[in-house]
Amino acid sequence: MQTFCGITTDGMLDYLATIQKLSAYGNKVTTSGLAERMHVSPAAASSMLRRLEESGFAERSAADGVTLTEQGRLAAV
């Protein structure tokens, strides 16, 4: 499996791009909102977000929702 900047799947890139698009409008990105946009269950979205967090691409907080780290923003481009 090839990696790009630590990203191991196309799915990870899809999530990063979607998070970036949703947050570009100043909206708070939630796990459930992301799941709806990605057409997956909230559990599946949460699982992928956990992987993105562990890889240093995203962060989650109750106040801010899902945000991309600098590394995540660079990879989403």
Establish if 59 belongs to a structural domain: yes
Domain count, the chain: 1
CATH number assigned to the domain comprising residue 46: 1.10.10.10
Query: Model confidence over 3-28: pLDDT tens digits?
Result: 445 556 678 999 999 999 999 888 89
- What pLDDT score was predicted for residue 6? 54
Selection from 20, 11, 19 nearest residue 48 by Cα = 11
Buried/exposed 33-53: b ≥16 CB within 10 Å, e otherwise: bbbeebebeeeebeebbebbe
Establish if 4 belongs to a structural domain: no
What size, in residues, is the chain? 77
Share of the chain above pLDDT 70, in %: 88
Establish if 5 belongs to a structural domain: no
| pTM, entire model | 0.84
Establish if 72 belongs to a structural domain: yes
Establish if 63 belongs to a structural domain: yes
Domain extent for 54: 10-76
Query: Model confidence over 25-67: pLDDT tens digits?
Result: 888 999 999 999 999 999 999 999 999 999 999 999 998 999 9
Establish if 46 belongs to a structural domain: yes
